[in-house]
Structure 1
Amino acid sequence: MYEALVNKDASYEGIFIVGVKTTGIFCRPTCNARKPKPENVEYFADIKQALSFGYRPCKVCHPTRPYGESPDWLKGLLEELSQSGQQKFKDQDLRQRGLDPVRVRRWFKKHHGMTFQAYSRALRINRAFGLIKHDDKVIDTALDSGYESLSGFNHAFRKLTGAAPSASKRSNVVTVTRILTPLGPMFAGATEQGICLLEFTDRRMLETQITRLSKLLRARFVPGQHPLFVKLSLQLKEYFAGKRTKFSVPLDIPGTDFQQRVWQALMEIPCGETRSYQQQALTIGNPDAVRAVAKANGDNRISIIIPCHRVIGKNGKLTGYGGGLWRKQRLLDIESGRLKTSSE
């Protein structure tokens, strides 16, 4: 495949996407940009997979567009996404551009295997966290990322994290990475104290959680490796294989006293069992705080380890879960022994 990349072999269009580790960019096989060294590339089956691994699209070859001519009715929106991946588009925004949200959704589903909203959300996150690489100067990273000046780069990074990329070295640091699981990739964050973030990458509230966490910890986010990620990955693998019911990785979970009580109560629910919000309110000694308990559950930033998926409705039915109800059911099935998966 590397030979095809170097030769810009068009016959490989649609066969693979290449990710460049040193820049965080993914390209099509026929890209005209300077070719990276073989050890600095990895290959993906499609764009969705490349996005899941944290890569963002190349501005030279535009890999998010189908090979050949893209439909005229979509060109304007694709160009907007290419130029500014930080904007959030609602259905009304699409209508104002003369686009039918349903038609846009179907096109992205067909060509990228994900909805337009999921795609644009992944772009925003990947662009924010793919901007900084270890030991790089901010100005070098900005130029490598396609920015003509620091101002645009700083704005893009601050837009999501709430902190400038050139923050003082005395600032707290949250090291972030992606961990693959049988239910989809997860976004993990760690401080010196412990794991502070573990969410599925397609969770709708992920950006909000990241922004809140940045402010709570007064931290900047930097992609990279952390000793705790090895332990976390291993324990998640054991969990999905049905071989682990408790986690021992240290956690760093800033929050109010009430939130801390709710999260602690969640961790006391035995694996394989469920509780209602009413029961959880009773557990923390505040039976009238059912709605507040539900909100604190939703504010949980550590999926699986702090098992908010074990809380269900009073009638026994599944209720809202940030990672999606289908994942909630799968997690409960794994814990009850009805389903075993493998992370390999």
Structure 2
Amino acid sequence: MTHHLAPAPLLALTLPSEDVLYAALLARDPAFDGRAYVGVTSTGIFCRLTCPARKPLRANCRFFSSPADCLAAGFRACLRCHPLAPEAAADPCIAALTSALEADPARRWREADVAGLGFDPSTVRRSFRRQFGMTFLEMARQRRLREGMATLAAGGRVIEAQFDAGFDSPAAFRAAFARLLGAAPAEMKGALLQADWIDTPIGPMIAVADKRSLHLLEFADRKALPAELARLRKMAGGIGLGRPQPIDQMADELGAFFAGTSARFDTPLALHGSAFTRAVWEILRQIPPGTTRSYGDIARDMGCPEAARAVARANGANQIALVIPCHRVIGADGALTGYGGGLWRKQRLIELERGYALRHDRQPDDIGQRADGGEAGQP
């Protein structure tokens, strides 16, 4: 079954009414972050709708769909909400703690360590949950666990992996490993499917493949990951640790994608879903980078205009992130809506892909995907 999408303008959907946007500004609604910005005529500054500064009068607001439009209209970027940077990067505690974690991934972080850096632990918990869906301490434990998984994938013993992951207790290591991957280390041997990590600028991903095809690609912190791995393990009789060729190929393609040189993914995929679900995924792969669609748009393209909810379920069932670009589906009103990898990642991906869309006419071969204090703005 082949579907053809009508051409869509860059980040296609029109902004909602100014009534909706001003209400979102007053509520600091994160659903529009990365999708709408406000220029404040009384200050000449533009902001995110989530900016913490005192809100401007309605008469002083102009709304835009991108930072580029704000700059073109003569506004300059706010020094409080940093609209030219991803939202997570604008939070000083997030920037400092994630940098510290990458500098020493084996460190066993505690709340006292966070406080020792001058941050309030409760504020840090709220910030990380809002941006990443997990606390900083949970993120640090996951990062340590990854070190242990790398040791096992290279053929190391479980006890070596335990120490590399910074766990004093073998039982604690086995339990943490099982929570992430759905099985204890000793159970992940000699299987047809193999799993490994792939690093990306927006967080580590877990990839699962056999010798021919990629079966899963998910962010390691996605809540649905253990259930998805359990389904694959049941289907294949187990999942081992290793790096077959499709994972290597995907790692290279993701590197090019995040470097801004290519949005093309040619790694063979093994898709597990109903005929309807696979048809939705096929349409998702036809959405060009830098454009977005709504669930209703996709349902109409399939000839089933009443099936928007079914399309949303199929979108949520996608277990090959980025390659099947469910992040390009947004709400009918232009809001980002849900994303299993977190709305902050969805924002980052949409912003990244704007660059591909702007270069589309010059580099068409790299763009395609194969179908298999004062008023707001005052510093």
Same fold judged by TM-score > 0.5?
Answer: yes
Q: Is the Cα–Cα contact under 8 Å of residues 217 and 254 in structure 1 kept in the other structure? A: no
For residues 209-235 of structure 1, what are the alpha-carbon distances to aligned partners after superposition, in whole Å with 9 as ceiling and x for unaligned?
24322432344463x654334433433
Report percent identity of matched pairs: 30
The code of the aligned residue for 1:55 comes to P
The code of the aligned residue for 2:348 comes to R
Offset, 1:248:
0.6
Distance verdict in 2 for CA 1:245–1:126, change over 3 Å: closer
Give the aligned CA root-mean-square deviation in angstroms: 4.0
Instruction: Report the counterpart of residue 209 of structure 1 in structure 2.
Output: 225
Q: Is the Cα–Cα contact under 8 Å of residues 157 and 165 in structure 1 kept in the other structure? A: yes
Instruction: Report the counterpart of residue 117 of structure 1 in structure 2.
Output: 134
For residues 11-69 of structure 1, what are the alpha-carbon distances to aligned partners after superposition, in whole Å with 9 as ceiling and x for unaligned?
xxxxxxxxxxxxxxxxxxxxxxxxxxxxxxxxxx96524645993424xxx58754996
Q: Is the Cα–Cα contact under 8 Å of residues 274 and 311 in structure 1 kept in the other structure? A: yes
For residues 94-142 of structure 1, what are the alpha-carbon distances to aligned partners after superposition, in whole Å with 9 as ceiling and x for unaligned?
xxxxxxxxx534256899xx88934133234334443342212334434
Q: 1: CA distance between counterparts of 2:296 and 2:114?
A: 54
The code of the aligned residue for 1:130 comes to E
Instruction: Report the counterpart of residue 294 of structure 1 in structure 2.
Output: 312
Q: Is the Cα–Cα contact under 8 Å of residues 172 and 217 in structure 1 kept in the other structure? A: no
Instruction: Report the counterpart of residue 332 of structure 2 in structure 1.
Output: 314
Listed as ranges, the matches of 1:19-58 within 5 Å are 47-49=97-99, 51=101, 55-58=105-108
Listed as ranges, the matches of 1:78-157 within 5 Å are 104-107=121-124, 117-132=134-149, 133=151, 134-142=154-162, 145=165, 150-157=170-177
The code of the aligned residue for 1:287 comes to P
Distance verdict in 2 for CA 1:335–1:291, change over 3 Å: farther
Listed as ranges, the matches of 1:1-344 within 5 Å are 47-49=97-99, 51=101, 55-58=105-108, 65-66=112-113, 104-107=121-124, 117-132=134-149, 133=151, 134-142=154-162, 145=165, 150-167=170-187, 169-181=189-201, 184-192=202-210, 193-200=212-219, 206-218=222-234, 219-220=238-239, 222=241, 225-240=243-258, 242-322=260-340, 323-324=342-343, 325-337=346-358
Unpaired segments ≥5 residues, structure 1? 1-44, 75-102, 340-344
Distance verdict in 2 for CA 1:68–1:152, change over 3 Å: closer
Distance verdict in 2 for CA 1:157–1:272, change over 3 Å: closer
Aligned residues: 255
Offset, 1:250:
1.6
The code of the aligned residue for 1:194 comes to S
SS in 1 for 2:321: coil
Offset, 1:189:
0.8
The code of the aligned residue for 2:232 comes to L
Offset, 1:315:
3.8
Q: 2: CA distance between counterparts of 1:106 and 1:189?
A: 33
